[in-house]
Structure 1
Amino acid sequence: MKRRSFIQKGALSGSFFALGGTGLFALNAAGAGNREPLHEFNLNYAPHLGMFKNMAGDDPVDQLNFMADQGFTAFEDNEMRNRPVELQQKMADTMQKRGLQMGVFVAHKIYWTEGNLTSGNLDKRAEFLEDIKQSVEVAKRVNAKWMTVVPGYVDQRLDANYQTANVIESLKQASAILEKENLTMVLEPLNFFNHPGLFLKESPQAYMICKAVDSPACKILFDIYHQQIQEGNLIPNIDACWDEIGYFQVGDNPGRKEPTTGEINYLNVFRHLHDKGFTGIVGMEHGNSMPGAAGEQAVIDAYVTCDDF
């Protein structure tokens, strides 16, 4: 039997289909917070908005309640910084009520095609630091501890060592802001295939930068999807970077869909994180491999399967 077929045939008794179409959303809306979650996970997996919109509806608050009803204990939202303050507050109130930890949001404008932190340009550095200050206020509002930072594009006119020094200096100044608030920026290396030309690509590179910045406010976001493409050797590289990793994100490869759809053995990876005592957040930064409610249930079932250790 194919791996995906086995997972689908083994779907749990709380399946969407057992409740008949949109019945699960109706159940969710009628009794959110009044019953036990359907699943109990070993790790703090964090879905994002839109991942369960067919089952939960378009309203962000309904989606958060649905996540909590399923047993997820965290949530991440790259776009939180750009959402209206009123919606940020509603989402924060719901997360607090339902026991959902807030994961990462993107802390600043990311430059995808030109140097910013790499260049040493003081105007770009000032813009970055102002974004960090504004993100502190967002973090306070939504009870976030982590925010994502991407240093930007390679500056072709500068030696790589100068670029590294420029990035480190900018991050040191940002860390001075974040340390006062007990917040952490997590640096995300992005793979060369999906994001050609970006400065930060590999976990050893991120590790070296974090060591140079030397602050509890500057850690690594180890995205397992990106690092499978960029360097592979996942578990040994996780171990080598362990003391500087603050956050994980996942997606299977190829395709960047839910675990079990690609080549990564997420059962073993999740077990390893758990055995090492990781109590932070594992962001579900991927798409759904199938459309509609069936695809959303497949995502839930995949995490149940890969968390079964």
Structure 2
Amino acid sequence: MAAAVLAAVEHDSCVVDEASVRHAAVSDPVYQLLMARVLAGDWADIIPEPLRQQVAANLHAGHQGLDSMQRRVRQTVYWPRLEGDLQYRRSLCEECDVHAPSQAAEELIITPPPHRLAGAGPLPPSSHIKTQLCRYFARWGAPEQISTDGGTNLASEEMGEFFKLWDVSVRLSSAQYPQSNCRAEAAVKVGKRIIMANTGSGGNLDTDKSSLAMLQYLNTPLCGMNKSPAQMVAGRQLRDGVPTARWHLTVDKHRGATLRHRERQMADNGAALTENGPSRTLPVINPGSHV
């Protein structure tokens, strides 16, 4: 089992929260010195030494590379020699060494960036894929296009009819050069990292480790965007095993204004229905009346 996962679950709790940081900071002079020099009110959480290895392990729970972990910490935490500790954590991970991706054999085809969502699960037949996609569509909306590698369970007649029903076009990568399907391949790599290192007995994905790994992926800012998948979809970061400033867990002000406007509109509509609805005064029914 990967060293990152072991370090992340050896403690009583998977989550390092603000109370844990305050408790450990009492006996850490380096932390006290750094806090005395921090003047900005929104400075990232400075992690005391007793908790640094656990936080580093949590940052690597999704088996992401050093660049991804650094993008995550820029929004969340800091301590002296942070980059070196993250690099050391990555060097201890045997799972990453075994499954590290190789260089692409051809130039990747550049396509407009889609909204990226990842999930993990076994590869089912077409009928099961339809069920799973219906759940995704109901939650996130039907996409305009889906990229696939041309697998038989995605290129079947049944799936063709399903995509036609939902007005979703299918983009197929070259059969000889699957790496040209860059975004789908990247999603496959994310799924493999989570599945291979965090499954339970019998391939069960309903584990604390896989949940922690998925949260770490969802909270990691995408390259070149400085926004994580969680921020793009939910308007905020999700609470996971890495300490973060509380304002990161609140909905973005612009998104929040939209949500508040929607709530007010729904409340006004409900009040209007109550006041002007189809209700009417009914005549009194006397005993013995036929109804």
Normalised to the residue count of structure 2, the TM-score between the two structures is 0.26
Give the greater-gyration-radius structure (CA).
2
Greater RCO (Cα-Cα under 8 Å, separation 6 or more): 2
Looking at secondary structure, tell me which structure has more helix per residue: 2
Normalised to the residue count of structure 1, the TM-score between the two structures is 0.25
